[in-house]
Amino acid sequence: MGRYDLALIGFGGVNRALAELISQRGHRLAEDLGFTLRVVAITDLRAGSLVDTDGIDLAPLLAANPGELNFAGLPGGSADPRNAWVIREVPADIVVEATFTDPAHGEPALSHVRWALESGKHVCTTNKGPVALAGRALKQLAAEHGVSFEFEGSVLSGTPVLRTAQRLFGGLEITDVQGILNGTSNYILGRLEEGVDLPAAITEAQDLGYAEADPTADIEGHDVQLKVMILANEVLGADLRREDVLCEGISAITPHEVRDAASKELRWKLVGSATRHQDGSVEARVAPLALPAHHPLAGIYGPVNAVSFRTDLLGTVTVSGPGAGRIETAYALLSDIIAIHQRHAVDAAAPTRPVLLETHHV
C-alpha cells in the first residue's frame, strides 16, 4: 500500500480539520482509498513550524486549544513558521496550502504554491487567489515538473463543481455558468427579505461564523469575483484577469427592495456569471439580480452555494451544496489528494509503449 507524506502550510480551521480526518479516520481511509497519509511538517503563523520526517503525532496537537498551540517547545519544533524552508527542503510528497491570503495579489499562497511546484511536489490548496490570478501559469509549472496542482476547494468548498464540469460533462458544450458563490451574502439577502436591515444582518452572519470581522469581500462581491474567474478560466477556457470581471455587491440593496421583489415572486441573489459567446470571447460579471421563482438559483437559501451550467445537450444542470465549513473544505483537500493519487498511480502503472522505428530503404 502506498503512502503520501504531507506538509501542511497553515494550521487554522481547514488544515486542522484535515489533520483530524487523518488522525481519526486514517485506517478507514486507507482501506477505502488504497493509500495512507502521514503528516511530516506543519507550519503556522502563530504556532511556528514542526517537522518530523518519521511522521508527526497529531493527537496531542489536536487536543490542544488552537490559540495555545506552540511548536517551539516540541522536538523538531520552532517558533518561526519557516514556510519557504519547509516547502522547499522537507521531503514531502504533497504540500497542502491553506494560509490566509490577500485576494488582491494572491500572496503568500501564490509563492507557497510556486515554491512547492518548483521543488517537484504536488500541491492542493483551498486558496482562491493563486488559482484566479495565476492559475494557467501554475498549471504550466506543475506540468513542467511532472506534478499536480489541485484546487477543488477554491470555488465551492467541499462541493465538487470543477471536477463535475471537467470529468462528468465530457461531450457537452458548456456555454454559460451562473452561481451563488458566497454563502454569507446569500444568508444576508435572506434576512433582508425577512425585514432585518443590512448592519444587523451582517452582525448575525458574523455571530454565526459565516462572515469575517471585515465582511467587505463578501458584501461587495470581491470573493465571488475571484470564484467567477476560476470558473470562467477552468470551465469555459477563458483567461480572465480581475479587471475583466465587472463587480457589484449587495450593500446598496434595501430591505424594502428585497421584500417588494419577494411580493412579486422574485428573489434577490448575488450572482456570479460567465458566458462564452459565439466568437469565443467570455464575458463575466458579479451583480445582484432579482431572479424569478423558476430560476434554478432562486430557491437557494442561507449559507448554501450552487452553480448552474448551461449545456448544449442537457440544458441547465445545477450543482448545490455547502460553500463553507472547515470539515467540508477539508474534504475538498482530501478529494484533491485522491485526484493526485488517481492520476499519478495510473501514470505509474501504465505500460511503456514500444518505440516504432521507421526504416528507410535506399
Point out the residues that are catalytic.
227
Pull the grid cell for residue 285: 460579471
What is d(CA 65, CA 297) in angstroms, rounded to the nearest whole number? Answer: 39
CB contact set of 95 (below 8 Å; sequence gap of 6+)? 6, 7, 9, 87, 112, 113, 116, 121, 122, 123, 124
Give me the helices (H) in the chain, please.
13-33, 58-63, 83-89, 109-118, 128-144, 153-156, 161-168, 183-193, 198-207, 216-219, 222-235, 255-263, 326-349
Q: Which of 157, 166, 86 is nearest to 128 (CA)?
A: 157
What 3-state class would DSSP assign to 169? coil
What is the identity of the amino acid at 290? A
Q: Which of 185, 222, 217, 220 is nearest to 204 (CA)?
A: 185
Pull the grid cell for residue 50: 514542526
What is d(CA 107, CA 104) in angstroms, rounded to the nearest whole number? Answer: 8
